[in-house]
Amino acid sequence: MRHWALLLALGLPLMGGMDAAAQPRGTTGQAQPRSTDAQAQPRSPDSPAQPRSADSPAQPRQGPPHEWVFGAWTGGIFPPGDAGTPACFGNPTVIFTRDIVMRVSVLDTAYRERIIETVAEAANGLEFRFAQAAPVLGPMGARPAPDAGFGCAAGPNALKVERKGPDEIAFPGCSEFPSTLKRCTMAR
């Protein structure tokens, strides 16, 4: 199961980059309407090209606000180990993708998946809001997973990510993740 999670963590951001030119997407993965250039009337081959006015300069496509955090991260629950080895990708603590944040579960072998509702840029980081977590089935019926959230003071459906460095983040105010996290990278 962890190998599939790793494949998702590494493959989805790449697939999103390939699809970006064809369909710009918002933070929820739904297609956004294109600019007025896509809605413009086709012009005949003999008509001259219209120069852009100073009021509407060409803007490069921007990714989602949490694009810089995509990938696998280690640490958080415990101090991070060596993040520059292939072994880091074998057991990441948290995996960020375009639409999902996965976290390791201390009580189970499966990752807990949280669907992203919104992402907002904050001072020195990001603020995530998640959809309500699916209940887990137990002997007494369905109940919320005890580790569905991140142990944050804002509740199980919120997460604040603080950037500590280029490949280091922290979850301030989250009791289940007292240590910093480091991005898993390949040594060059």
Q: How does pLDDT run across 91-138, given as a tens digit for each residue?
A: 899 999 999 999 998 777 788 899 999 999 998 999 999 999 888 888
Let me know if residue 58 belongs to a domain: no
Let me know if residue 40 belongs to a domain: no
- Is residue 163 very low, low, confident or very high in pLDDT (cuts 50, 70, 90)? very high
Average pLDDT across the chain, whole number: 76
Closest by CA position to 77, among listed 127, 112, 117: 112
The sign of the CA dihedral 29, 30, 36, 37 is: positive
Total number of domains constituting the chain: 1
Let me know if residue 176 belongs to a domain: yes
Quickly list H helices, 20-158: 36-39, 86-90
- The boundaries of the domain holding residue 137 are 2-12+64-183
Strands 136-138 and 141-143, bridge-based pairing: antiparallel
Please, which contacts does 56-62 make with residues 24 or more away whose CB atoms are closer than 8 Å? 59/35, 61/20, 61/21, 61/24
* Location of structure tokens 């918002």: 26
- The predicted-structure confidence for 29-78, as pLDDT tens digits, reads as follows 444 333 334 444 444 444 444 444 445 455 665 888 999 999 999 999 98
pLDDT higher than 90, residue 17: no
Rounded to whole angstroms, the Cα distance separating 19 from 13 reads: 10
Let me know if residue 35 belongs to a domain: no
